[in-house]
């Protein structure tokens, strides 16, 4: 009977089409969720790099501070040579403190970059 075969095949097509639509819609939802998590991961990575850049700015400030200390030391030598060793000891102390702050900023930048 050709009409019976046609009815069976149309019912079979409807059933398979419904399952196929469910499969496609499920994969679409899964793909959409994956894209959302990828965007979220990209935002987290961008925020991490911004934090690393902000923490690295302190290293530049440390370099500027060291340059200021050495410049002031030279000016102090030029004005009063008899205070050479006293000025030098203060300059070394300030140099060390400024360098420690720069290294601390660099350490925080590396912690943000590699520990998270």
Q: How far apart are CA 95 and CA 67, in angstroms?
A: 9
Backbone angles phi, psi at 99, to 5 degrees: -65, -40
Q: Where are the alpha helices (DSSP H) in 1-116?
A: 2-79, 84-115
Provide the pLDDT for residue 22: 57
Looking at CATH, the fold of the domain delimited by 2-115 is given as: F1FO ATP Synthase (1.20.20)
Cβ partners under 8 Å of residue 56, min gap 6: 105, 106, 109
Sorted by where each begins, the domain ranges of the chain are: 2-115
- pLDDT tens, residue by residue, 4-13: 444 455 555 5
Provide the pLDDT for residue 36: 56
- pLDDT tens, residue by residue, 18-75: 655 555 555 555 555 555 566 778 888 899 999 999 999 989 999 999 999 999 999 9
The number of C-alpha atoms within 13 Å of 26 and in the hemisphere containing its C-beta is: 6
Span 89-99, average pLDDT:
92
């Amino acid at each position: 009977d050709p009409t019976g075969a046609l009815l069976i095949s149309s019912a079979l097509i409807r059933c398979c089409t419904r399952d196929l639509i469910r499969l496609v819609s499920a994969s679409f939802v899964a793909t959409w969720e994956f894209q959302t998590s990828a965007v979220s991961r990209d935002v987290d990575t961008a925020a991490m790099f911004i934090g690393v850049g902000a923490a690295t700015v302190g290293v530049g400030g440390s370099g500027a501070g060291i340059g200021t200390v050495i410049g002031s030391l030279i000016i102090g030598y030029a004005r009063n040579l008899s205070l050479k060793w006293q000025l030098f000891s203060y300059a070394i102390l300030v140099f060390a403190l400024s360098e420690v702050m720069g290294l601390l900023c660099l350490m925080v930048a590396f912690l943000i970059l590699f520990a998270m």
